[in-house]
Structure 1
């Protein structure tokens, strides 16, 4: 195999190869010497003393079965250290320098190791960290400028990260604890391109929009501000004025929760839209299937196509967002500490928040309580965020329905209940509180659905 000139020069002056050749030569000499000693020990005269014979037969290099050879360990350590001197690979020196800097090692120690070629210099680590810090500031500034742009639609989505960590006790044993953090991404959506009439989207009728969004919703357009073109370039104060007036008045007797929240009909219509998309995607993907009767083409519910979505990641927070106070802290940390959004933004804008179904309930509870209404800041009133559960979390509602309706009692459970069946197939804690929806999803895919679901699937 031919090698380039640069590789030949590197191999010619590589210290690692020279040391490895010398180490191989020493091993060959040791093996020859060990073979000679073994041969001499085997040909010892039988008339000698037993202790002397045993001592002569005992080789200094003999080791018990399963013990690591010191030579192998030394060779691995030498080769690992020599990677720091090889000009083609500096990963070891970079990792060692970052570890020493993070462990608050003295500067002189790092400088000595850098002169030996085993670590990077102290100033190099400081420069790398400074560049990472500057990059973080630029990313946050870009996300802030994008967030304040009222010509685009922004969605604030966040979820938690869970991992297990082992902590050593004073007794020498370790316990496993669950850690949690919050990661956030800001999505910028450009809905300027509309779906045209054609074979893929044959239904784009005003009746579809009326059934989906209501009769009082204007047709989506490509205006600069929003779809509400009749209220001027900044329609949010006019839209929020009736709601602010309603909040100042005492609670009326004829007020129903469906006036301010999504009711069953709205959720049913959204579910029909999602099922229509899923049905259409299934027919397009599995066009080779043949049915006894032709399947009608489902209508295209949403008349817009998202052409481009930009994602702006934000720093990870060490916040527990499993409570109402935790979700309030998430908004406070990101919008007031990280992005530094001005308070005037929250009086004229509405922020769409897409967490999971559990966190959307916590956000609505925080809006209902409104503990910070007495504050003079608009952000503390916590009325701008509009929580919308992610569409894929509708599966969680379906699983909760199966658990509550077909789970059965914990005491004296029947033989065909979902609780008994889940315990038999390995999901013993499936129906215990709090519900683990990921385990429920695996239980559904394992081929052991509840009896009610099997009865519904029968023709």
Structure 2
């Protein structure tokens, strides 16, 4: 009871009242118990850090301290700290290649026939899923998701680290955060790094950029893993196809027609944008199937099974509407051209979301290759550069 009251910010005097009434531990007992738990947890974390394989995720923690009785020497303040988590993971075989960047070339980033065939396979899967959702006669179709490199299901063990009174928004701040975690929190000796070990750090784009600056100065902390691909992709689609409220087919026009709020290119609301993209994709897929079956509807008497019909028509939709955008451009049909490009990008977005939920890292890597090229042409060059680093690491630098 005392721990619960303390965790909810209950004042000390209230806890003492409950203690005298026999309903709770005393405030001093709560503090003593929490300190013992903290020491025990910290000892366990240091054991894991010394003997297991792990990586670190950290980000800034910002909050305001509001002064209700404000004076010149008693103003509101803004506190910036850092929170971190150690995540245990599987060990790898091999060594880290320090000169891997010399092997990466343009051919590694270009879309190959194998990439295109993989995209067609997953697009067919998502189109058939849409067919099953909207047409009752096809609801019994068996449509298994493509599998490329599926992770084994395993619960991740996470260990929250003590918060740090360090502002990690600068290069110096990131250096201090890493030194504090390695030296003070985990207490790793220098000889721990003698066997070619590297510390993997995950963070947002600013964190990664600052850590790369630290590494260029001479600190070789290790490979950096950029996250949040889905949020970046959603923002890219919104900015590219937002258009104007008065332009039919633009996301701005669709959002107004559907009465959607919080859809703006200035401040991204991921959940609102994610929902809009999914609903627009669903409507586009439904319309594509309606058009595809206008002159070639399914009939049980045609000698073709429902599975064969769905595969054939989904392949036609892919060739015409997903990968066939140039056919509209040749006829100067800009509306259909832009619609086809939007359909293609939404297909990739839906595939990335599904691959993440499925834990198929092979499919995730396929989408990231497309995303790298898209971001190079947009206004998110920093993220595009990080994806190039990721490609280099996956192909040449990091052990499997």
**TM-score after normalising by structure 2:** 0.49
Q: Return the structure number with greater helix share.
A: 2
Which structure has the higher relative contact order (CA within 8 Å, separation 6+)? 2
